[in-house]
Amino acid sequence: MTDENLTLPAVLVEAHTAGFFHEHSGHDFDPYDTFMGSGEMIEWWQNWTNDPMAGAPPFRAFGQDGTGGLAAFWLRNPGHPLDRQSVVFLGSEGEYTLIARDLGDYLWLLANGVGPLETVDGIERVPEPIPALTTIAQRHTGSARRSTTEVIAAAQAQFPAFEALLNAHAPAE
């Protein structure tokens, strides 16, 4: 038995259950009820990097797409609160990107009607704001609406550091 804390932040659970994923039928994302356990995350990371010796990854996965790609917090700044860590996507085919610079920005993506993986695959519809999620994002962040463009630009500003981390774990060719 482990005493690993797998509890998701309450605001993340609230946002994921506020109806977004049920209202957008073509959306390919399954939020988890808890974080992926560390043993399963290590195994996933070893497979993803093709390195059976890869240690514990700096990620806490909270959902996946239909192919097994993960949405996760990137624990970039040890010791900082989880809601201040970046949100990333690690695809089953090796694709990766930053989704949001922190939990607040992730909530704004949802509030703007944009799912986490649409930032990877592209937004193929006209997103419409979701009032219930706007309320959650405003309550959590204390800020006015952040546009999808602003959220993605802020995340991409951190991309070089994310890419350097992943390149350090890429298998030798």
Q: Does the residue 145 lie in any domain?
A: yes
Local confidence pLDDT in tens for the 173 residues of the chain: 457 899 999 999 999 888 666 555 555 678 999 999 999 999 999 999 998 998 899 999 999 987 788 999 999 988 899 999 999 999 888 888 899 999 999 999 989 888 877 777 766 667 788 899 999 999 999 988 899 999 999 999 988 889 988 888 765 54
Query: How far apart are alpha carbons 5 and 157 in whole angstroms?
Result: 30
Q: Does the residue 5 lie in any domain?
A: no
And the tokens for 39?
């043993």
Q: What is the pLDDT of residues 146-160, one digit of tens each?
A: 999 999 999 999 888
Q: Does the residue 101 lie in any domain?
A: yes
Residue 24's domain spans which residues? Answer: 10-168
Q: Does the residue 4 lie in any domain?
A: no
Count of structural domains, the chain: 1
Q: Does the residue 72 lie in any domain?
A: yes
Q: Does the residue 151 lie in any domain?
A: yes
